[in-house]
Amino acid sequence: MWDAVLFDLDGTLLPLNMELFLPKYFQALAAKLELEVEPFVEQLLASTEKMIKNQGTRTNKEVFDSDFYRHLPGEPKELERLIDEFYEDCFPKLGDGIKPHPDAKRAVEAAFAITEHVVVATNPVFPKSAILARLQWAGLVHYPFSLITSYENMHSAKPNPQYYFEIAEKLCIDPRKALMIGNDVDEDLAASEVGMQTFLVDEMLINPSGKPIACLGRGSLAQCADFLEKYVRKEN
């Protein structure tokens, strides 16, 4: 029996097209800070890249903040206040028109039938408030997830295997007894490097490097839910 089931969020449980979403997000955040979009986005992406390369001595937020604010005009504390306000008040509105995946609840509920340790294992480069907003868009915010990875509580990011080790450590489980479900071959199937089994949801497949795909299962989110439900019946 799996001791934990991990779900990626964007492109897996939530049908969010990042190529369409990110420009709206960048423009809205730059407007909130009253900064020019292009140089602001350039710095945001540069600081995010440093966060992705975090090796675990500091939280992702600490790595991001130490680089980001020193390159922006203005007082860091005031900028941080405005950003917090943006994620609480403005970010949730960016989800207008995004509809929940019809099979997301079934997949999550099947996972909870397997184990109490169900994790939202989204890449932890956003604050928790932004992830909760996306869970709201997905219709999943009310579930009692054991862990929601965010930039405040993690010390590395996908595809670093240490990200998956840290999740296992937080849950006090053997990573070899966990299942990671996601749509990104590079980021989500990297869980196999720490011994986790993987399921690839391929409706919004991401495989930029064209890697060969090796996983326990593959298919739509509906097929993933079927896969989990069969596992529940088998165990019972």
Verify that 154 and 209 share a domain, yes or no: yes
- 190 and 213 Cβ atoms separated by less than 8 Å: no
Verify that 141 and 210 share a domain, yes or no: yes
- 179 and 197 Cβ atoms separated by less than 8 Å: yes
Verify that 117 and 175 share a domain, yes or no: yes
Verify that 42 and 111 share a domain, yes or no: no
The number of domains in the chain is 2
Verify that 12 and 108 share a domain, yes or no: yes
Verify that 78 and 124 share a domain, yes or no: no
pLDDT computed for residue 234 by the predictor? 74
By residue range, what is the domain housing residue 143?
4-16+100-235
Verify that 73 and 116 share a domain, yes or no: no
Verify that 162 and 110 share a domain, yes or no: yes
Which domain-ending residue is among 28, 60, 95? 95
Q: Cβ contacts of residue 204 below 8 Å, gap of 6+?
A: 11, 12, 15, 17, 183
Helical H segments across the chain, by residue range: 18-33, 37-52, 60-68, 76-85, 104-114, 128-138, 161-171, 221-235
Per-block mean pLDDT, blocks of 10 residues, the chain (236 long): 96 93 96 95 96 94 96 92 96 95 98 97 97 98 98 97 98 98 97 98 94 95 97 74
pLDDT computed for residue 236 by the predictor? 61
